[in-house]
Chain A
Amino acid sequence: MSDNPVSNSPVLENPVLENPVSEKPEFSVNPEMPANPEDLSTNLIQVKDVTKKYRLGHNEVEVLHGINLEIKDGEFVSIMGQSGSGKTTLMNIIGMLDRPTGGSILIKDIDITKKSQKELVEFRRRTVGFVFQQFHLIPSLTAYENVALPLVFAGDKDDGAVASALERVGLAHRMHHKPVELSGGEQQRVAIARAVVMKPKILLADEPTGALDANTGSMIISLLKSLAGEVTVIMVTHNKELAAYSDRIVYLKDGNVAV
């Protein structure tokens, strides 16, 4: 029982897209290529008129009211906004854990809202990494095994990617420890290593410092900052100081992008 890549998109077979120039010929044969050549911008992510409605009993509640957002490859973007403004909802939609009710999301010019559930799993594995406020490590697994999880599910060989990801977050020496034996900051670094082990294009961090003290929090932000460039980082935070590390801040207000 494995899900092989069923997509006919050549981009899926080559998840490591360090060089955007080399993508161009692929796009020219891509059937999902958008009609407008201007869209072949440096924008990695294009959020177009995205709405999200939740059904609450008999009522429908719209929590995103037509979000438009463009994020460049390698950018470090902070998303801020009041509690309930829809930040997590937007992150989950960009991260393909959730589907929008309306609108479309283009990642590398591919409309992910048109993909089947099965295609999406394979695409997501190699395109996005998640970091959560509560770390969400698996308690029975060591740091090393937690970081290896995405490889396990993708069916990839561990050719040193796990060790180098742990090294990247400065935890190579604690790889055989279980989450309970690690501090909060260390756990979050393991989670970041897990998020980047597949070398994704996008790193989604939803309040990554929310459960950490100020010092540890800024350390995590510096780590994310150092990763930006290689990977596009989108971070939700309530902390203005931390948001200042990023290239750009996007404000959400009641389900709309505030300017």
Chain B
Amino acid sequence: MRLHMLVLKDISRRKTKLGFAVLSVVIAAAAIVAVVTTFSAATEGLYEESNKFGANIIVRPEVTTIPLVAGSTSIGSLSMGENYIEESEIPKIYTIKNNSNLAVVAPRLYGVAELGNSSVVIMGVDPEKEKNLKSWWEVQGHWITAETPEKTEVMVGSDIAGPLGLKEGSPITLSQGNLSIDAVVAGVIESTGGNEDGYVILPLAASQYLLSKEGKVSSLEVRALCNDCPVEEMSRQIEGVFPGLEARSMSQIVDTEMAVVEHTQSSAMAVSIITLLVSTLTVASTMLASVNEKLKEIGIMRAVGASNAQVVSMLFFEGAIIGIIGGGIGFAIGTAASSIAAPMLVSVSPSPMWEILPLVAGICILTGMVASVIPAKRALGIDPAEVLRSV
């Protein structure tokens, strides 16, 4: 039998009383694990999403809106500046310093057209380039290819295909003003959760014809190819060659969202840490009560040869055991809680973060040991001669 066996036997005898202390560690550990698991899944999801966007830089016309005022009455506003990018200008992008990092430059034209009785957003794309950017799209049917006269191919998003009963091979007619195109559905894009769910996607030239925007595009989606590209720097270079255009890097967009996530995470973490402090106090008071209960036993142990150091080490071991049991259960509960809550809160399903288990266990053991300090002081104050004398 070892000193630590004694503690384990003692703990198993006082299960119910120590249960309260363990429970408070469980709550703290569960809170911390849930917060860390949920938010790291959220952060990861955000990065994944930003990758999925497929473009690191979006280039579009700078739009300045000035209000039109007649006397004191507003009569609307006027958008100034070039609202479209000239298709012929696009090659200029290859003159930037980091041009070798430009993997894909995909032009897009957005507009609204009539499909049957409803208005839909149409997006004209360069099929080959777009396919490069959106390689993860699941298409029922096939991707649109280069235009063939009389049989324009389109892809439709799931939000459009469903209600209109469109599937591969369905003929459709898109119209805008006097113009119209007869097309056939090449494929339906399975829901991605993104904007494309509500789009009709067609070759750029067809969209330019339908929208009467020959030679014009709305935006360029640029994918920079490299790890750790100087994306910000490239954005500035692009703005340099295209006066009047604005280039925004995805990281700027992601950074903004990330800041929100981080802010929420730090508030949640603060709450968890307060929980941890409260649980330290709970463990301390439970253990102090148990020292008072065990006054006589501690006196007996001293009388049969326990040193101060041994008495203290037994208490610290008890605290550590409370901590590790609480930490283990807390990890399980926290992980379970985040797998339920995270899909609702941040729409990601996290997986158990085993890598934080040692850290959580360490923190909980430390909590138990810190909580043992005051009880240990009390135990050292016990005079065995005195406690054994009283019957």
Contact = CB atoms under 8 A, between A and B. Distances in A.
A197 to B, nearest CB: 9
Nearest to A145: B1
A76 interface: no
Contacts of B312: 1
Contacts of A137: 300
B307 A153 contact: yes
B92 interface: no
A43 interface: no
A149 B383 CA distance: 19
Interface stretch (A77-85, A105-113, A127-135): A127-135
Interface in B298-351: 300-310, 312-313
Contacts of B384: 97
Interface in B179-218: none
11 contacts: A2-B307, A3-B307, A97-B388, A117-B308, A121-B308, A130-B304, A136-B303, A137-B300, A140-B10, A148-B1, A153-B305
B289 interface: no
Contact of A153 (B301, B383, B391): B301
A152 B300 CA distance: 14
B307 A149 contact: no
Given A1-B313, A153-B301, A136 B307 contact: no
Contacts of B307: 2-3, 118, 121-122, 153
Given A134-B391, A152-B1, A3 B309 contact: yes
Contacts of B300: 136-138
Nearest to B294: A138
Contacts of B389: 88, 92
A80 B258 CA distance: 82
A223 interface: no
Interface string B279-310: 00000000000000000110011111111111
A149 B301 contact: yes
Interface string A94-126: 010110000000000000000001100110110
A200 to B, nearest CB: 10
Interface string B356-391: 000000000000000000000000000111001101
Contact of A1 (B297, B309, B388): B309
A189 interface: no
A141 interface: yes
B302 to A, nearest CB: 8
